[in-house]
Amino acid sequence: MSQRLRYLANQVRNLTYTEMMEVARWFAFACQERNNNDALDSTFNDEDANEWAQFLNDWSESWLENNPESDDD
């Protein structure tokens, strides 16, 4: 994982599930915008996108395992 993504991951680790879903929505929007704007390719490449998507997936699975009865909404 790149240093930038490692920093982001450390910043969001302790968010609630609802807050993290906002991060995931932002990520999806950023990916869509990147696909529509070639200028963003230099700062947000496919490797970054794949690593961040994997982190979000791992985080949500871990959160759900550790909070099976939580109703964060």
pLDDT tens-digit profile of 13-45? Answer: 777 778 877 877 887 777 777 666 665 555 666
Q: Does the reported pTM lie above 0.75?
A: no
pLDDT at residue 62, rounded to an integer: 79
Q: What are 19-27's contacts with CB under 8 Å, separation 24+?
A: 20/56, 20/59, 20/60, 20/63, 23/56, 24/56, 24/60, 27/52, 27/53, 27/56
Residue 73, pLDDT > 50, answer no
What count of Cα atoms within 13 Å lies in the side-chain half-sphere of residue 29? 6
pLDDT at residue 42, rounded to an integer: 55
> Three-state DSSP class for 37?
coil
Helices (H), 13-45: 17-36
Q: Mean pLDDT, the chain, as a whole number?
A: 72
Amino acid at 22: E
